[in-house]
Amino acid sequence: MIRSSATVVALAAGRSRRLAPITTLASGLELGLTIHVLEGDRPGPTVGVSAMVHGDELDGLLIARELVTTLEPAELAGSVWVLAVANPLALEGVSRNTPVDMLDMNRLFPGSPHGWLSEQQAHVISHEFIDHLDVLIDIHCGGTFPWVDYCYVVNDEGLSRAFLPELLYQPADPYPGTTATYAQQRGVRCTVVEIGGGYHDQPVHVVNGVRGVLNQLRYVGVLEGGVERRAGQRLMRDLRVMRPRHGGICVPKATLAPGQVVPGGTELADIVSPYSFEVLETMVAPFEESIVVLCRNFVTRIHPGDYGFMIGDGATASRYED
């Protein structure tokens, strides 16, 4: 039995909320996490769905809301735990990083009870959420400005494919200290999905996101029914995060969408000085076959080193045969 300091609030049959305390803020307000628990009558795995590890990734919260309000506990074999807001202060501040310490919580797992607020929060997520799971689906998005559509392959390729993305990505060197890093260490089957962002076509991303998670729940046996497949899925092994050297105004030169392929040398965007209006640099597709993974479709502010675009290398990507 895993030790827990969460308070459990019973709601309707098969529905409860776990309230896990994190800390007391400088203002005296109590900070904690809310985990929605849907429990089936039949045995089965415990699947966790998390969102808003980064506070400017609202589409994940919208997908989580749909799941919590539409899933019927009686239809489940096993349980679904939904942590819709993993980083409450970052949600409040519409910020990728936690405003109090400005750290990226998703590089700090499993966290520490004696560290910065983000580390304390990661510690509570690790032990009050991930430790209880057999399967973790961590939902991310492009953030305030860019949008994305792909899935990481972590330790269960079928689980990632079952989200039904066209693009999948298996990095040779994954970021350390993520939810997925910790889940893997714990032997939890895991995927990280990246969907939506940039306030772009939110209803479409929510529909696709919910459809993907429901299919993953069928894949792991929590929901009954056949697992849907998507033909033509591509697995990328090399992906360039294109970070501009200069900040300024990012002016796209083409309207792009994730999954689109453009030839190397295609101009993606100009970074323009807001004062002199000169073009400080032009971002250019780097690979002969450049697969668009993350893009910006509007004129946006961009920081030096920011996520400008993400481009996959078609030369090292492969298509699934089945």
Chain residues binding Zn ion by CB under 5 A are 54, 140
| Minimum distance, C-beta of residue 114 to Zn ion, in the bound complex (Å) | 25
Shortest CB 206 distance to Zn ion, Å: 17
Distance CA 284, CA 293 (A): 14
- Whether the CA torsion 201, 204, 209, 210 is positive or negative: it is positive
* Min separation Cβ 150 and Zn ion, Å: 12
126 or 144: whose CB is closer to Zn ion? 144
Contact 202, 62 (CB under 8 A): yes
Residue whose token pair is 């990083």: 97
Nearer Cβ to Zn ion (37/310): 310
Residue 1: CB minimum distance to Zn ion, A: 32
Closest CA to 294 of 167, 148, 151: 148
Between residues 36 and 54, which has the closer beta carbon with respect to Zn ion? Answer: 54
User: Shortest gap between Cβ of 208 and Zn ion (angstroms)?
Assistant: 17
Quick one: which of 50, 62, 58 has its CA closest to 126? 50
Q: Which is nearer to Zn ion, 36 or 140 (CB)?
A: 140
Nearer to Zn ion, 54 or 248 (CB): 54
Smaller CB separation from Zn ion, 60 or 248:
60
| Minimum distance, C-beta of residue 44 to Zn ion, in the bound complex (Å) | 28
Nearest residue to Zn ion, scored by beta-carbon proximity = 140
Nearer Cβ to Zn ion, position 146 or 314?
Answer: 146
Would you state the structure tokens that stand for residue 223, as one six-digit string? 């929901």
Rounded least distance, CB 294 to Zn ion, Å: 11
